[in-house]
Structure 1
């Protein structure tokens, strides 16, 4: 690994700052430079605060701060959390006046903490690492190796849109959550930093760091090639064709019956009922808001997804990081011929409990023709209508009396395909080069019937499985998967 012009590379921690180093009393132009600190093994300095840190070595990129409006946005988010945490029951017990006092006190405290956090947070790129520095009493430095970068997204919640700011989120291999959420930056700075990190991660070209004291120059966003745009009308109809929409009238009737029987129309009862109804509608409404104005572009070797109404997102996923592609066709969508496409990125999709934080949207709703075009871009040469999937043997009906015909697996030229599901049909495509391990598993009932399940595991965690295959066929399938995985990865090893 080569070292940048800034000095030590990411593998060697720089020396600890001395106690006698002191920055000048004033900075030209009112801008305070962001000095360099030790690497990921840093320890607390002699005194809290940035003033105890020495200036960066000559020629090294200075540390950048987040936008000055970041504490205000964090404080506003904390205010919403505080109001939700106090709940309606607190309002009924203490009254509106004391409730407002509690909200103000908690909001001011959260804002003060946000200001302190912003003052002691900085970031910069050192070699092939993004380093994020934070902490007041105990200083912490997180070093994110950019060669392990999986996806980068620019997120703009509603308040960030109103103030012209954005949040940058990074996902790395093996990460259990989002790394280095830089909130908040200006839109231009977030876009430029995203392009620079992707360029360094992909080894496409080295982007020179800005000179000391100069702001980063925004990189021009590539035009890209439009793959698909989802009609908002189709998105709305698709969420009406969900179990929540069909069960909502029954839920409303149940709540009305409860009110009539109890004879209570107090403020607390009405507020609780509205909260319960909002919970029922939350999932379909959230999907509409998240996937509003969905656009999918391709920029050279990356996919770029733009979506969102109240919170806009621009997600960038390198194509060579895609582990699997999933096709889902719910029961109620079949009358329209619609389906949904999702992809899995290593260390990202399976680890995030909230699906809004996953860069897995490939097509929220669309017809078979649109799905074929998108799959051909992600997995060249793969056609959904010609995949050679076969069902398990007839004796597997003892284990799957209703779903045996819906289960199947097969080996295409480029991918391993596995389908399942009776009411909601699912198809998973795994490129051979992404297979990390192959397992043959037998349960007690499978052993009596001479059946076994073959799992093709990926770095993303889920992979695909050929369910209830004949035992001899399962071992043959496992051997073939291993052979094809080795053959698919061989050119990359020498590349």
Structure 2
């Protein structure tokens, strides 16, 4: 008979957590109180309103901190929160997909970090612990990953300090570090940055010919230009000092300038690998790699919360190196890509030559995209279901699309295959998926 599981003492977040939460509230309050409010009530009343609201937000943050705690019970992480309405969330660690240590700018200045967990079926971050000390966050991440990988009959010690000794983690090694120079250059080779000088020249020409230099016109122009540059600039800040490493069972990704992120993704959670060749990158031979990980919703409102970064920019040799670490025996240049039949040109008059699909001995692979070339690689062991779909035009052309679904949600699709080939491909995919799961 197994021994009863005793919960370890509940622990609180870092005492500075309310300060950081209150600091974030200041930005929200000032944004909510527009400049029109300042002009109506005057500086003194405006300052008083801001002070009252900030103090109120800080008090709520302190009360929330006092009533928030976490501890590990058996193979669950339990998080307790709430004052009037108490809530306890129990997260089974065997469903754990990835753990991320995030350090926003204020957290970096105060030596704190936020721990975010992703679980199977979660549409967003399950239980962010904001904030912990950096050492505590890293130690908790490693501990949860160890528990998630243990046999069900092994549990941590109740006090959290005399946990049964686990085998030491093998020393990790760095796979690749992206040069910041290449990162900046890659974002300059985007449609937004490439077209910006032309848009600016057009606006200046309008001003010069019409002679109108009003403040509103200039401010609106600068705002529009800033909006155009927002996405490339955010990508540079997010992927700054990008480092990719791995140990025996996990990928470790570090990146970020104003907000640093340290993500740990178990290799057995990776559902697919995506390769992208943007149009303006092809002259330099650059590509981008991403991951599809179980537990992360494709509809996540903030794409920075998805650990899909595998290589923000790199050449083909680097891409081959990284893919080989994830999928041994798979080379990007040797994938068996077969185009659709010629009658599919009615569906793809320009892109038919770049569309392809094939069955590698380890993975299913599809390619598509005319301007932005994309390749999706799905290991057979990650296939959840296979569908053959035929639309009205496809029925007249005797074509069909083979969809492969994964736990990550996106999967892959071999579009416009010959109908007989599509059914044969679907049957072969099902057989190989069953064989891969039995072997695994």
Query: TM-score over 0.5 for the alignment?
Result: yes
**Aligned match of 2:103 in 156, 165, 172?**
156
**Aligned match of 1:457 in 387, 393, 405?**
405
Q: 2:265 corresponds to which residue?
A: 317
**Is residue 308 of structure 2 the alignment partner of residue 350 of structure 1?**
no
Change in Cα spacing, 1:468 to 1:139, as seen in structure 2 (3 Å) is same
Q: Deviations over 1:28-58 (max 9, x none)?
A: xxxxxxxxxxxxxxxxxxxxxxxxxxxxxxx
On the 8 A contact 1:3/1:127 being kept in 2, the answer is no
Q: Distance in 1 between matches of 2:25 and 2:51?
A: 11
Q: Deviations over 1:184-234 (max 9, x none)?
A: 00001001100010001111795734638x7999x9986411100000000
Q: 1:428 corresponds to which residue?
A: 376
The DSSP-based 3-state class of the residue aligned with 1:228 is strand
On the 8 A contact 1:199/1:207 being kept in 2, the answer is no
CA root-mean-square deviation: 2.5
TM-score, normalised with respect to structure 2: 0.93
**Is residue 389 of structure 2 the alignment partner of residue 441 of structure 1?**
yes
**Is residue 59 of structure 2 the alignment partner of residue 120 of structure 1?**
no
Q: Distance in 2 between matches of 1:357 and 1:469?
A: 35
Q: Deviations over 1:353-394 (max 9, x none)?
A: 211111110000000011101101111111111000111000
Q: Distance in 2 between matches of 1:215 and 1:282?
A: 49
On the 8 A contact 1:189/1:216 being kept in 2, the answer is no
Q: 1:246 corresponds to which residue?
A: 194
Change in Cα spacing, 1:94 to 1:330, as seen in structure 2 (3 Å) is farther
Q: Which structure has the higher relative contact order (CA within 8 Å, separation 6+)? A: 2
The DSSP-based 3-state class of the residue aligned with 1:208 is coil
Consecutive unaligned residues in structure 2, runs of 5 or more = none
The DSSP-based 3-state class of the residue aligned with 2:84 is coil
Q: 2:85 corresponds to which residue?
A: 138
The DSSP-based 3-state class of the residue aligned with 1:290 is helix
Q: Distance in 1 between matches of 2:268 and 2:375?
A: 21
The DSSP-based 3-state class of the residue aligned with 1:136 is coil
Change in Cα spacing, 1:425 to 1:122, as seen in structure 2 (3 Å) is same
**Aligned match of 2:356 in 382, 385, 408?**
408
TM-score, normalised with respect to structure 1: 0.83
**Aligned match of 2:156 in 208, 231, 242?**
208
Change in Cα spacing, 1:138 to 1:469, as seen in structure 2 (3 Å) is same
On the 8 A contact 1:349/1:360 being kept in 2, the answer is no
Q: Deviations over 1:441-470 (max 9, x none)?
A: 011100010000000000111100000000
Change in Cα spacing, 1:400 to 1:92, as seen in structure 2 (3 Å) is farther
Q: 2:334 corresponds to which residue?
A: 386
Q: 2:20 corresponds to which residue?
A: 73
Q: 1:48 corresponds to which residue?
A: none
The DSSP-based 3-state class of the residue aligned with 2:429 is helix
The DSSP-based 3-state class of the residue aligned with 2:354 is coil
Q: Distance in 2 between matches of 1:473 and 1:128?
A: 46
**How much has 1:320 moved relative to structure 2?**
0.4
On the 8 A contact 2:390/2:400 being kept in 1, the answer is yes
Q: Distance in 1 between matches of 2:33 and 2:211?
A: 26
Q: 2:236 corresponds to which residue?
A: 288
On the 8 A contact 2:382/2:406 being kept in 1, the answer is yes
The DSSP-based 3-state class of the residue aligned with 2:128 is strand
Count of aligned pairs between the two proteins: 436
**Is residue 59 of structure 2 the alignment partner of residue 109 of structure 1?**
no
**How much has 1:309 moved relative to structure 2?**
0.5
The DSSP-based 3-state class of the residue aligned with 1:180 is coil
Q: Distance in 1 between matches of 2:4 and 2:377?
A: 40
Change in Cα spacing, 1:474 to 1:96, as seen in structure 2 (3 Å) is farther
The DSSP-based 3-state class of the residue aligned with 2:127 is strand
Q: Deviations over 1:213-268 (max 9, x none)?
A: x7999x998641110000000000000000110122234345556767584644x6
Q: Distance in 1 between matches of 2:183 and 2:53?
A: 39
